[in-house]
Amino acid sequence: MKTVGSDEFYKMSNFIRQCGVVVNTNTLARGHQGFFTNKRIDISAVLSAERKKEVLVHEFAHFIHSRLEPDVIRSHGSLCKLFDTNDIKIIQHELCELTRALDKSASLSRLEEQRNLRMEKIKELAKKIKQTYPEFKRSYPFKKFENILKKSDARYLLKYDRVKIRTPFLRRLKIYSVETFRTDFPHLDENIENYVLLKSHQRVVNRISSRLSRLNKYYSRPSELFARFVESLYKDKDFTIQTAPNAYKRFDELLASGYYFELSDFISDFFLKQPAQCVL
C-alpha cells in the first residue's frame, strides 16, 4: 500500500518520464542519494519517501539545466546562462549562502570545526616544544628530533598514525600508534612525543583541508548551485526567497516566460500552491 509521500513521488517520477527522462528508483545511485546523466535519473532506494522527492527535484533541475547547456556535465554550466544575465555577482553570492544553509549534514561546518580544533592542538604542542627548543618551527622538519627518531621504530610514526611491523628474524608482529607512543617508547623525551603528535595532527589537517577544498569546489559549481536552489524552493519557498531574493526574482521572471521548459509545469503541479512574497 502506498503512502501519501510515495504516491506523490510516483506522480513526480511519471511527469519526468514524460519529459523523456529514464527514472530509476530501485538502485543505490552509485553510492549517492541520486544522480543525473544522459537523460537518466537514479534515486537511491534507501532514502525516505520525503527525501526521495527532494532528491528527484534536485536531479530534475540538472536535466532542465542540461537542456539550457548541453555540455553541462563537462563544463558544470554557467550562472550567466542559467539566469540569462551577465550581472551575476549578487545572485552567485546568494546561491552560495543558500547552499551552505542547505548543508543539513553540516559537512562543511563540521570539517571546518574539526580543522580548527586540530590547529589549536598543533599550536599547544608547538608552544610546549618551544619552551625547551625556542628555535623550533612547526612548519619545518626538526632535525634534532628526526635524527633521534630514525634510530628506532618510532620513525614510522612520522608518516603514519598506526603501523604494524614484523621483526626480521622471529617475525613477531609489533603494533605502534601515536596514541600509545609513551608506552611504546618510554625512553624517548616528552618533547619528541609532542613532536610526533604534532605531525599526526598536521596530517589530519592536510586531509581535512583537501576534503574542504573538494567540497567547496563542488558546491560552487553553477550546476549544483542551481539544482540546490530549485530543491530549496520545493522544501521551503519562504526561506529560499529570504536567503536568495535577487536569485528568486530573476528565476521567477524566467520561469514565467518559459525559459526553463517543463520546470514551470513541474513547479505548478508539485510545489507549494501559495506563492510567497519577494520584497527587494
What's the total number of domains in the chain? Answer: 2
Confirm whether 84 is domain-assigned.
Answer: no
Report the distance separating Cα 198 and Cα 118, nearest Å: 9
Q: Does one domain contain both 126 and 141?
A: yes
* Residue 221 grid cell: 559549481
Q: Which amino acid is at 67?
A: R
Last residue of a domain, one of 199, 217, 235: 217
Q: Cα dist. 177→107, 165, 275 in Å?
A: 28, 11, 59
pLDDT for the residue numbered 108: 77
Phi, psi of 177, rounded to the nearest 5 degrees: -145, 150
Q: Does one domain contain both 213 and 226?
A: no
- How high is the mean pLDDT of the chain? 91
* Residue 248 grid cell: 528568486
Q: Does one domain contain both 252 and 192?
A: no
Confirm whether 151 is domain-assigned.
Answer: yes
pLDDT digits (tens, 9 = 90+) for 23-79: 998 887 665 789 899 899 999 999 999 999 999 999 999 999 999 999 998 999 999
How far does Cα 105 stand from its chain's mean position?
9
Contacts of 246 (CB under 8 A, 6+ apart): 90, 91, 94, 280
Report the distance separating Cα 173 and Cα 166, nearest Å: 4
Confirm whether 29 is domain-assigned.
Answer: yes
pLDDT for the residue numbered 99: 86
pTM of the model: 0.73
pLDDT digits (tens, 9 = 90+) for 104-150: 556 777 888 999 999 999 999 999 999 999 999 999 999 999 999 99
Q: Does one domain contain both 9 and 42?
A: yes
Q: What three-state secondary structure class fits 166?
A: strand
pLDDT digits (tens, 9 = 90+) for 168-218: 877 889 999 999 999 999 999 999 999 999 999 999 999 999 988 888 887
Neighbours of 241 (CB within 10 A): 22
Report the distance separating Cα 183 and Cα 186, nearest Å: 6
**Nearest alpha carbon to residue 161 among 118, 192, 202:** 202
Residue 122 is part of which domain span? 109-217
Q: Does one domain contain both 58 and 130?
A: no
Share of the chain above pLDDT 70, in %: 93
pLDDT for the residue numbered 141: 94
pLDDT digits (tens, 9 = 90+) for 195-205: 999 999 999 99
* Residue 214 grid cell: 573538494
- In the block, cell 603514519 appears at 160
